[in-house]
A and B are shown apart, each in its own frame.
Chain A
Amino acid sequence: MTPGFGSLIQDVLWCFSQVKGTIDTGVTESDIISTVEFNHTGELLATGDKGGRVVIFQREQESKNQPHRRGEYNVYSTFQSHEPEFDYLKSLEIEEKINKIRWLPQQNAAYFLLSTNDKTVKLWKVSERDKRPEGYNLKDEDGRLRDPSMITVLRVPVLRPMDLMVEATPRRVFANAHTYHINSISVNSDYETYMSADDLRINLWNFEITNQSFNIVDIKPANMEELTEVITAAEFHPHHCNTFVYSSSKGTIRLCDMRAAALCDRHAKFFEEPEDPSNRSFFSEIISSISDVKFSHSGRYIMTRDYLTVKVWDLNMENRPIETYQVHDYLRSKLCSLYENDCIFDKFECVWNGSDSVIMTGSYNNFFRMFDRNTKRDVTLEASRENSKPRAILKPRKVCVGGKRRKDEISVDSLDFSKKILHTAWHPSENIIAVAATNNLYIFQDKVN
């Protein structure tokens, strides 16, 4: 059996850990997971779905009694973040689907996260309550008010322990700032501001102020008929609070410095790879559209995902990426079909591991791919119920392009394009990954020796 892939010195073997979600063959649309995100310590894992709900999982403390069960993730809190709305001006529905969740770094006992749908960003506070006051004077234990004239004795309420309750409360609602659909939110390294990006504009918010935001990027043309390019993703630099990047549907990335001007329409750096004339087709622009952009943890690189590749760029070199990885190049000859059934517009995300040595992204047929930047080895794994035995090692998968198909390979025409892995997340410091496959969340860990 072929091993996994090399990561630094040892080979990492990925094992199934858990799966969340129903096994029903029919998928309820509202259960489809639309975003996955670990918090900064990896203790919490949040998912958002098309129904506007957020589910937070917490990693349980590792116990000495069961060392092989390394910290399983269990449901910690579930709440309805966004509700469907109706825009009466345009007679259009506003979907409640959660597009992105971003955690704030923890500063006290409570956890804070930002969740957004197409139009509105919300700041949620998730906190624990394990004590409750008992012995009120003016109301009894059931909460019913007492008649004040009947009270003869006064007492001081005391806090008594109770079953742990996790409550989520919306602390801020940042609304009415986006005409177009929000695709990204990013918390700034100053922890005081964050940005929200839609198709044509990027706004800067202060967490404390909800009734105004600053517009820092605006690419809306004066005449909408001249519109040929939209913003597809945006992110703040992990350390420099003045720097951010945004990607476009034309395959370009712009790095902006907020110190230069209030409106960052003029980029500080412009990243674009020259087109390969031999590969040109009517679909070239569509497949060059960047669906996700992520800074490395070090802040030195950015990674972009377009339809067929993942690219790593050095911030110091604008004219081409330093690394390009083919995710599923066998789809290049199928672009017309994929255009027809709209799969060519699927927006895949990409993630770095904690040490920036491995990158991961999803594909079709519930496959996801990992690329080791040091050894240049890659592996294709599958998130499926068949591989769901506890601690079962994931077997690498292979897609057969043409000619003879080997026994374990799958041919391109047999791929299930309805099973797409768009959202994945990597624990900030350990080899634990969360993979969203439609309505199921898979958690994989590396093998414990």
Chain B
Amino acid sequence: MFLTPVVPHWPFQNMDTMFVRGLKRKCFDGEEDIEGTLAGIKAIPSYNLQRQSLLDMSLVKLQLCHMLVEPNLCRSVLIANTVRQIQEEMTQDGTWQMINTQSTGQASLDRLVSTDILCRSSRDQAEGKHVPAYGTFNKDFESDQAQDSSETMSTASSVQAPRNLQSNVWEMENPQENKGNFQKSLDQIFETLENKSPNSVEDLFSEVDNSYYDLDTMLTGMMSNTKMGHCDNLETFSTPTNTASNSNCKSDLNDLDHIVEILVES
């Protein structure tokens, strides 16, 4: 079975030079040795990995905000718009399913961690030494990419429910400092949300059921259907054999949407 090669989109032309340097070399090496279709297949994960990592980074940013002081609304809105843009493109591409296989789920967890580490280290360094930080990043990509291409080539649709961001969060409850901080930040977010007076003029949640405040409900993605909205579009991309991952895709988009919406509101 052949997968149709997808040409990487123009949005990432700018990112090529520094963001995926290692990856591009590998692509070229591959193209010399392998047929066109396979090279095309290798090109797909690289673009999708880039985009996925940008999405992960953006979600981390939305969640890791200073919760002592009110987060900068302009920054939150710009990041949320970026997330939306990526989501829209991913649903249009129909690549949402492919990304959420088991292996990529694993990869996204690693990426999430490495992104977080990089975010901290680059903040600490703040000397403009971005390239070394991305050296680490590239290594993750290269190891993941090999894994990804082998996975995508097989028709492994029997994989378990894709790891959403939320399950990644819970698995990060490790002694490692940045993971702890991540969890702490989420807690602080929801504490702040709960502190909002229900009678305040800016009551953003007046029309929303209280399950928003329930951490468990939020994280298991079993929200009420109030915000399905554009998630209905996902159904057009589903394949009959993939019903399991389908509903998970939908809940993934829901979860991401909810995170984005709640955090923009707060």
A residues at B contact (CB < 8 Å)? 87, 89-95, 118, 179-181, 199-200, 224-225, 227-230, 232, 249, 279-283, 285-286, 289, 332-337, 339-342, 345, 364-365, 412-418
Contact = CB atoms under 8 A, between A and B. Distances in A.
Nearest to A97: B69
A230 B78 CA distance: 9
A249 B74 contact: yes
A337 B122 contact: yes
Interface in B82-122: 82, 85-86, 115, 118-119, 122
A416 B128 contact: yes
B86 A340 contact: no
B264 A224 contact: yes
B81 A228 contact: yes
B192 A91 contact: yes
A200 B74 CA distance: 10
Nearest to B119: A340
B119 A341 contact: yes
Contacts of A230: 73-74, 77
A341 B123 contact: yes
B7 interface: no
A352 to B, nearest CB: 24
A285 B82 contact: yes
B236 interface: no
> What is the interface residue range for chain B against chain A?
35 or more
Nearest to A179: B202
Interface in B234-259: none
Interface in B56-94: 57, 61, 68-70, 72-75, 77-78, 80-82, 85-86
Interface of B: 10-15, 17-19, 51, 54, 57, 61, 68-70, 72-75, 77-78, 80-82, 85-86, 115, 118-119, 122-123, 126-131, 133-134, 191-192, 195-197, 200-202, 204, 227, 261, 264-265
A417 B265 contact: no
B73 A181 contact: yes
Contact of B77 (A249, A336, A339): A249
B69 A93 contact: yes
A91 B119 CA distance: 27
Contacts, number: 132
Contact of A334 (B18, B54, B72): B18
Given A225-B261, A249-B78, A280 B126 contact: no
A339 B196 contact: no
A227 B264 contact: yes
A110 to B, nearest CB: 34
Given A225-B261, A289-B78, A333-B18, A92 B68 contact: yes
B73 A341 contact: no
Contact of A228 (B18, B77, B123): B77
Contacts of A333: 14, 17-18
Given A228-B81, A334-B130, A417-B127, A340 B57 contact: yes
A95 B86 CA distance: 33
Contacts of A412: 128
Given A282-B86, A336-B54, A345 B81 contact: no
B195 A413 contact: no
A181 B173 CA distance: 34
Interface centre among B80, B86, B130, B197 (most CB of A within 10 A): B130
A318 to B, nearest CB: 23
A340 B137 CA distance: 12
Contacts of A418: 126-127
A281 B74 contact: no
B265 A199 contact: no
